[in-house]
Amino acid sequence: MKRLRKKTTAGLVLVLAAVISVLGGGGWKLRQERVRAEEVFFNGKAGFSVYHDIMELRETGYNLLRISEEAGGAEAQRRAAASAWARLDEAKTPEDCAAACQELRDAVDALDASQTMESDTLRRSWERQMNDFSEFTSHLRFDSYYDEKAGAYNRLFRDPLTALIGRLTGSGEMPRFTGADAGGER
């Protein structure tokens, strides 16, 4: 108790308590906003979510890989697409999903540009799957419900103190899929 009677020690304890209070409170608020945005990412609104669209994109990518294997050729592009597909299959967070989704989209575009189809049946299957792939990509770009939640969370990082708290707690900005950030880029 004698140490707390000294002005210097008491001042340091007060400053430490204030810092802990600000970091703890700010970290809690940041975490709550992130939980809200993640909930929308995975569950969406009325059963429609970004995660659902990404999983549909993943399944369509798988179908394209199978058609490409049957058609033959474009080995390097198919390996790149298969690697991107596996990364998306293992993604668990919105950030990982967004990065892997973009990687798969780029790989499928490269595979589409290099793939040749000798069979009319394979060509029609390929075109149908590419149309589905484009459709699910489009769904991602127009899901404003999740994007609004992610945007609200990301706006918190404009405050320097919140940005510091985010860095200290390991929380970063969430990916967005519409507007300037279309395509799952941050």
Query: What local confidence, expressed as pLDDT, does residue 181 receive?
Result: 46
Per-residue confidence band for 186, with pLDDT thresholds at 50, 70 and 90: very low
Query: What is the rounded average pLDDT of the residues 142-160?
Result: 85
Lowest mean pLDDT among 7-16, 80-89, 140-149: 7-16
- Does the pTM surpass 0.85? The reply is no
Residue 2 placed within a domain: no
Residue from 91, 89, 106, 86 nearest 41 by CA: 91
Domain count, the chain: 1
Three-state SS annotation for the chain:
CHHHHCHHHHHHHHHHHHHHHHHHHHHHHHHHHHHHHHHHHHHCECCECHHHHHHHHHHHHHHHHHHHHHHCCCHHHHHHHHHHHHHHHHCCCHHHHHHHHHHHHHHHHHHHHHCCCCCHHHHHHHHHHHHHHHHHHHHHHCCHHHHHHHHHHHHHHHCHHHHHHHHHHCCCCCCCCCHHHCCCCC
Residue 11 placed within a domain: no
Residue 3 placed within a domain: no
Residue 101 placed within a domain: yes
Chain centroid to CA 134: how far?
A: 18
Q: Higher model confidence: residue 6 or residue 104? A: 104
Does residue 100 carry a pLDDT above 90? Answer: yes
In tens, the pLDDT along 131-142 reads 999 999 888 888
Residue 176 placed within a domain: yes
Domain span including residue 95: 24-181
Per-residue confidence band for 28, with pLDDT thresholds at 50, 70 and 90: confident
Per-residue confidence band for 184, with pLDDT thresholds at 50, 70 and 90: very low
